[in-house]
Amino acid sequence: MPYLGSEDVVKELKKALCNPHIQADRLRYRNVIQRVIRYMTQGLDMSGVFMEMVKASATVDIVQKKLVYLYMCTYAPLKPDLALLAINTLCKDCSDPNPMVRGLALRSMCSLRMPGVQEYIQQPILNGLRDKASYVRRVAVLGCAKMHNLHGDSEVDGALVNELYSLLRDQDPIVVVNCLRSLEEILKQEGGVVINKPIAHHLLNRMSKLDQWGQAEVLNFLLRYQPRSEEELFDILNLLDSFLKSSSPGVVMGATKLFLILAKKFPHVQTDVLVRVKGPLLAACSSESRELCFVALCHVRQILHSLPGHFSSHYKKFFCSYSEPHYIKLQKVEVLCELVNDENVQQVLEELRGYCTDVSADFAQAAIFAIGGIARTYTDQCVQILTELLGLRQEHITTVVVQTFRDLVWLCPQCTEAVCQALPGCEENIQDSEGKQALIWLLGVHGERIPNAPYVLEDFVENVKSETFPAVKMELLTALLRLFLSRPAECQDMLGRLLYYCIEEEKDMAVRDRGLFYYRLLLVGIDEVKRILCSPKSDPTLGLLEDPAERPVNSWASDFNTLVPVYGKAHWATISKCQGAERCGPELPKTSSFAASGPLIPEENKERVQELPDSGALMLVPNRQLTADYFEKTWLSLKVAHQQVLPWRGEFHPDTLQMALQVVNIQTIAMSRAGSRPWKAYLSAQDDTGCLFLTELLLEPGNSEMQISVKQNEARTETLNSFISVLETVIGTIEEIKS
Partner 1 sequence: MIGGLFIYNHKGEVLISRVYRDDIGRNAVDAFRVNVIHARQQVRSPVTNIARTSFFHVKRSNIWLAAVTKQNVNAAMVFEFLYKMCDVMAAYFGKISEENIKNNFVLIYELLDEILDFGYPQNSETGALKTFITQQGIKSQHQTKEEQSQITSQVTGQIGWRREGIKYRRNELFLDVLESVNLLMSPQGQVLSAHVSGRVVMKSYLSGMPECKFGMNDKIVIEKQGKGTADETSKSGKQSIAIDDCTFHQCVRLSKFDSECSISFIPPDGEFELMRYRTTKDIILPFRVIPLVREVGRTKLEVKVVIKSNFKPSLLAQKIEVRIPTPLNTSGVQVICMKGKAKYKASENAIVWKIKRMAGMKESQISAEIELLPTNDKKKWARPPISMNFEVPFAPSGLKVRYLKVFEPKLNYSDHDVIKWVRYIGRSGIYETRC
Report the nearest approach of partner 1 to the CB of residue 358 (Å).
6
Report the nearest approach of partner 1 to the CB of residue 286 (Å).
6
- Of 11 and 209, CB closest to partner 1: 209
Q: Output the CA torsion sign for 269, 274, 278, 281.
A: positive
- Of 277 and 708, CB closest to partner 1: 277
H-run or E-run covering 109: helix 99-111
- Of 127 and 709, CB closest to partner 1: 127
Compute CA distances 309 → 301, 303, 305, 317, 550, whole Å. 12, 10, 10, 14, 11
Q: How far is residue 217's CA from residue 211's CA, in Å, rounded to a whole number?
A: 10
Report the nearest approach of partner 1 to the CB of residue 5 (Å).
18
Report the nearest approach of partner 1 to the CB of residue 617 (Å).
40
Residues 329-354 as b/e (b if ≥16 CB within 10 A, e otherwise) read bbbbbbbbbbbbeeebbeebbebbbe
The C-alpha R_g of the chain, in whole angstroms, comes to: 34
Contacts (Cβ under 8 Å, ≥6 apart) of 144: 125, 129, 160, 164, 182, 186
Q: How far is residue 289's CA from residue 564's CA, in Å, rounded to a whole number?
A: 21
Report the nearest approach of partner 1 to the CB of residue 75 (Å).
12
- Of 133 and 533, CB closest to partner 1: 133
Report the nearest approach of partner 1 to the CB of residue 150 (Å).
9
Q: How far is residue 164's CA from residue 179's CA, in Å, rounded to a whole number?
A: 6
- Of 96 and 157, CB closest to partner 1: 96
H-run or E-run covering 36: helix 26-41
- Residue 667 is given by DSSP the state E
- Of 298 and 491, CB closest to partner 1: 298
Per DSSP, the three-state class of 669 is: strand
Which one, of 185, 198, 79, lies nearest residue 141 by Cα? 185
94-97: long-range contacts (C-beta < 8 A, 24 or more apart)? 94/124, 94/127, 94/128, 95/127
Report the nearest approach of partner 1 to the CB of residue 41 (Å).
5
670 φ, ψ (degrees, to nearest 5)? -155, 150
Report the nearest approach of partner 1 to the CB of residue 185 (Å).
9
- Of 56 and 145, CB closest to partner 1: 145
- Of 31 and 643, CB closest to partner 1: 31
Report the nearest approach of partner 1 to the CB of residue 293 (Å).
9
Report the nearest approach of partner 1 to the CB of residue 205 (Å).
13
Report the nearest approach of partner 1 to the CB of residue 306 (Å).
20
Residues 498-535 as b/e (b if ≥16 CB within 10 A, e otherwise) read bbebbbeebeeeebbebbeebbeeeeeeeeebeeebee
- Of 389 and 706, CB closest to partner 1: 389
* Cα angle for residues 256, 262, 263 (degrees, 5° grid): 90
Q: How far is residue 126's CA from residue 405's CA, in Å, rounded to a whole number?
A: 70
- Of 181 and 716, CB closest to partner 1: 181
Are the C-beta atoms of residues 62 and 102 closer than 8 Å to each other? no
Report the nearest approach of partner 1 to the CB of residue 71 (Å).
10
Compute CA distances 638 → 462, 593, 714, 719, 728, whole Å. 45, 20, 10, 17, 22
Q: Output the CA torsion sign for 566, 568, 574, 579.
A: positive
563 φ, ψ (degrees, to nearest 5)? -80, -10
Compute CA distances 578 → 56, 470, 559, 585, 597, whole Å. 44, 33, 18, 10, 20
- Of 178 and 270, CB closest to partner 1: 178
- Of 61 and 467, CB closest to partner 1: 61
Report the nearest approach of partner 1 to the CB of residue 266 (Å).
22
Per DSSP, the three-state class of 735 is: helix
- Of 73 and 161, CB closest to partner 1: 73
- Of 559 and 688, CB closest to partner 1: 559
Report the nearest approach of partner 1 to the CB of residue 188 (Å).
12
In DSSP notation, 562-618 reads SSHHHH-HHHHHHHHHHHHHHHTGGGS-SSHHHHHHS----GGG-PPPPPPTT-TT-
Report the nearest approach of partner 1 to the CB of residue 562 (Å).
5
Q: Is 58 left (phi over 0), alpha (psi -120 to 50) or beta?
A: beta
Q: How far is residue 621's CA from residue 608's CA, in Å, rounded to a whole number?
A: 8
- Of 316 and 653, CB closest to partner 1: 316
Report the nearest approach of partner 1 to the CB of residue 245 (Å).
7
- Residue 378 is given by DSSP the state S
- Of 394 and 733, CB closest to partner 1: 394
Q: Output the CA torsion sign for 578, 583, 586, 587.
A: negative
In DSSP notation, 176-198 reads HHHHHHHHHHHTGGGTS----HH
- Residue 375 is given by DSSP the state T
